[in-house]
């Protein structure tokens, strides 16, 4: 990454306080069964795990690999089969793009029309925007490079009007990319909208969500996610409803009971907020507790831009040791397999309730010989970096987040989880003890048929939902599970479209 100077302060067009706004998501590309015979699929899974390790600075000792070492840079996934993307507009008149909604990074960038390596359908044409500004840095250059584990992008800093769901920041500093590593972008995905804190931003820019918060445009200083699940639907289309992203509050029809808010922690090196970090305080497997390291060595990045759950070597080994007849997958570093006939229920706690992960999300599909691939992998296997150093040791992605309603709140800085309502496919309240022998898991993100209307009513942060979740847990066969789109990094997520 080329260091860049502090960018000019932004000004906002509107200071009107807005009500919470729900933005429906559309999920792109179904998750299909992982088949041992498809070596390309298996290779894609292992490569994706490598990229998430790199994203959080878990690098390998191989001398031929060049590794980034900066915790302030996030990574994106080069495969978009399992992703959630959102629609934004840039410039005047507005140009529309689908971008990744990623709480694991902070930069906003879009592909420029002079980026021959981007290979995307929609690119930003700066010559067509009457409101474009190009700030000059103190070093005399506006060129910025962002390194990711799966590649890199480079481009020119710009400022322009950026809008999403009716909210606007003008000017918003962002990167117009003119160079991108091969395969870094999908043709329908034009960039990334980082939703973590400014301290992580390679461009030094204030993230879009923080600018909205500072300008008092949001009704409440928070944003929320409900993510759907289609991995058990063999007939899922390329694009499916992906859930709801709510700016400025939360949608109380999508969760039941109280939100459990947990204060985030800084990484101990940069004494300011970076990732949305929470300590992993308890893990159970089929009701049995797993021994964890110290609180300092158990920090988790809560990351919508990641598909699976990655954890430290000792803890991940202990998780799979608690599953009878599980075994490491020798051809896929850090992954474990278990008998397909076995149901694996894992709960995670971050200092409060134990939140279960559906057995559907723990089983990624068959790899042959009656074995199925597990949804939690070893993040640090082969890494030269130990605990500490400001790096999260856990990365908690959508394998977990599909099972809860999640709220990211800036004041006080915290992350909130709640049980999904029946409208969102939830089933029953979570357990109150991380050591319970009969944890109830929520069957969340159940298949939402095309055309189903996600409840649109919203309320501000001052009100709790009261819907009672009903429904039953699923025991779908692993034969209907994931295929080539098992992506560890969900930095290209399913399409989010604003419904007129």
- The answer to whether residues 338 and 374 touch, using CB atoms and an 8 Å cutoff, is yes
Identify whether 303 is a catalytic site residue.
yes
Residue 372 lies in a domain: yes
pLDDT for residue 136: 59
Name the domain boundary from 214, 244, 275: 214
pLDDT in tens, 69-106: 211 112 222 343 367 778 889 999 999 998 888 898 89
Closest to 142 measured CA to CA, from 170, 176, 115: 176
In this structure, the answer to whether residues 182 and 229 fall within a common structural domain is: no
- What distance in Å separates the CA atoms of residue 231 and residue 65, rounded to the nearest whole number? 33
User: Which of 81, 107, 186, 303 is the catalytic position?
Assistant: 303
Please state the domain count of the chain: 2
In this structure, the answer to whether residues 286 and 174 fall within a common structural domain is: no
Residue 141 lies in a domain: yes
Q: CB neighbours (10 Å) of residue 262?
A: 18
Place of tokens 């949804």: 375
Question: Phi and psi dihedrals of 94, rounded to 5?
Answer: -70, 135
Q: Which two tokens stand for residue 30?
A: 């179904």
How far from 446 is each of 228, 396, 465, CA to CA, in Å? Answer: 6, 20, 20
Residue 185 lies in a domain: yes
Name the domain boundary from 214, 238, 263: 214
H-helix or E-strand spanning residue 309: strand 309-311
As to burial, measured by CB atoms within 10 angstroms (0-12 exposed, 13-18 middle, 19+ buried), residue 124 is buried
Strand-pair category, 21-28 with 83-90: antiparallel
Residue 230 lies in a domain: yes
In this structure, the answer to whether residues 328 and 451 fall within a common structural domain is: yes
pLDDT in tens, 236-292: 666 677 788 888 888 888 899 999 999 998 765 556 889 999 999 999 999 999 999
Q: How far is CA 300 from the centre of its chain?
A: 13
Residue 105 lies in a domain: yes
Residue 288 lies in a domain: yes
User: Which of 22, 50, 81, 102 is the catalytic position?
Assistant: 102
In this structure, the answer to whether residues 423 and 444 fall within a common structural domain is: yes
> How would you write the pLDDT of the chain (500 residues) with one tens digit per residue?
333 333 332 222 233 345 666 666 655 544 454 554 455 556 666 666 766 776 676 654 433 333 322 111 122 223 433 677 788 899 999 999 988 888 988 999 999 999 989 988 899 999 999 999 987 554 455 789 987 645 789 999 999 999 988 889 999 999 999 999 887 777 778 998 999 999 989 999 999 999 999 998 888 899 999 888 877 777 766 667 778 888 888 888 889 999 999 999 876 555 688 999 999 999 999 999 999 987 777 899 999 878 889 999 999 999 999 999 999 999 998 999 999 999 999 999 999 999 999 998 999 889 999 999 999 999 877 443 444 556 789 999 988 999 999 999 999 999 999 999 998 887 545 544 433 322 232 333 332 222 223 333 344 444 333 333 333 333 333 333 333 333 333 222 222 211 21
Range of the domain at 113: 73-214
Please tell me whether residue 321 adopts helix, strand or coil conformation. helix
In this structure, the answer to whether residues 203 and 110 fall within a common structural domain is: yes
> What is the pTM (predicted TM-score) of this model?
0.74
In this structure, the answer to whether residues 207 and 327 fall within a common structural domain is: no
In this structure, the answer to whether residues 300 and 394 fall within a common structural domain is: yes
In this structure, the answer to whether residues 311 and 282 fall within a common structural domain is: yes
In this structure, the answer to whether residues 278 and 350 fall within a common structural domain is: yes
Identify whether 258 is a catalytic site residue.
no
pLDDT for residue 359: 93
Closest to 207 measured CA to CA, from 87, 99, 109: 109
Name the domain boundary from 169, 191, 214: 214
pLDDT for residue 453: 31
- The answer to whether residues 436 and 354 touch, using CB atoms and an 8 Å cutoff, is yes
- What distance in Å separates the CA atoms of residue 368 and residue 371, rounded to the nearest whole number? 6
In this structure, the answer to whether residues 121 and 244 fall within a common structural domain is: no
In this structure, the answer to whether residues 377 and 343 fall within a common structural domain is: yes
Residue 35 lies in a domain: no
CATH number at residue 387: 2.40.70.10
Residue 475 lies in a domain: yes
Interior/surface letters 425-457, b for 16+ CB within 10 angstroms, e for the rest: bbbbbbbeebebeebbbbbbbbbbeeeeebbee
In this structure, the answer to whether residues 337 and 405 fall within a common structural domain is: yes
């Amino acid at each position: 990454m080329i260091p860049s100077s502090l960018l000019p302060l932004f000004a906002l067009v509107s200071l009107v306080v807005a009500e919470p706004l729900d933005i429906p998501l559309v999920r792109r590309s179904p998750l299909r069964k992982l088949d041992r015979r498809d070596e390309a699929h298996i290779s894609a899974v292992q490569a994706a795990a490598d990229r998430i390790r790199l994203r959080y600075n878990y690098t390998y000792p191989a001398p031929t690999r060049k590794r980034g070492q900066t915790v302030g840079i996030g990574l994106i996934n080069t495969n978009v089969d399992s992703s959630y993307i959102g629609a934004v507009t840039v410039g005047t008149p507005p140009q529309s793009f689908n971008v990744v909604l990623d709480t694991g990074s902070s930069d906003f960038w879009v592909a420029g029309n002079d980026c021959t390596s981007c290979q995307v359908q929609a690119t930003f044409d700066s010559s067509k925007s009457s409101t474009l500004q190009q700030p000059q840095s103190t070093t005399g250059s506006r060129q910025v490079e962002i390194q990711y584990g799966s590649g890199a992008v480079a481009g020119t800093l710009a400022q322009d009007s950026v809008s999403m769901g009716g909210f606007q920041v003008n000017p918003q500093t962002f990167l117009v990319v003119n160079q991108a590593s091969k395969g870094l972008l999908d043709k329908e995905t034009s960039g990334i909208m980082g939703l973590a804190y400014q301290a992580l931003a390679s461009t030094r820019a204030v993230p879009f969500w923080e600018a909205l918060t500072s300008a008092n445009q949001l009704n409440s200083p928070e944003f929320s996610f409900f993510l759907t699940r289609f991995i058990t639907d063999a007939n899922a289309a390329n694009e499916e409803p992906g859930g709801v992203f709510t700016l400025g509050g939360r949608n109380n029809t999508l969760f039941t009971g109280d939100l459990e808010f947990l204060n985030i922690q800084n990484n101990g090196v940069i004494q300011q907020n970076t990732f949305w970090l929470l300590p992993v305080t308890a893990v159970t497997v089929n009701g049995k507790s797993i021994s964890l390291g110290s609180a300092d060595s158990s920090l988790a990045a809560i990351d919508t831009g990641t598909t699976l759950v990655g954890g430290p070597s000792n803890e991940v080994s202990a998780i799979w040791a608690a599953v009878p007849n599980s075994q490491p997958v020798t051809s896929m570093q850090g992954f474990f397999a278990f008998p397909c006939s076995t149901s694996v229920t894992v709960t995670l706690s971050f200092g409060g309730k134990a939140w279960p992960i559906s057995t559907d999300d723990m089983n990624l599909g068959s790899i042959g010989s009656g074995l199925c691939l597990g949804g939690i992998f070893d993040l640090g296997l082969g890494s030269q970096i130990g605990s500490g150093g400001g790096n999260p040791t856990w990365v908690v992605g959508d394998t977990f987040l599909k099972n809860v309603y999640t709220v990211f709140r800036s004041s006080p800085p915290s992350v909130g989880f709640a049980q999904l309502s029946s409208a969102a496919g939830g089933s029953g309240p979570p357990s109150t003890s991380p050591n319970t022998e009969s944890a109830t898991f929520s069957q969340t993100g159940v298949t939402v048929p095309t055309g189903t209307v996600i409840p649109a009513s919203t309320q501000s942060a001052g009100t709790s939902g009261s819907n009672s979740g009903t429904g039953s847990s699923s025991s779908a066969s692993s034969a209907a599970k994931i295929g080539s789109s098992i992506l560890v990094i969900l930095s290209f997520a399913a399409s989010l479209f604003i419904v007129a």
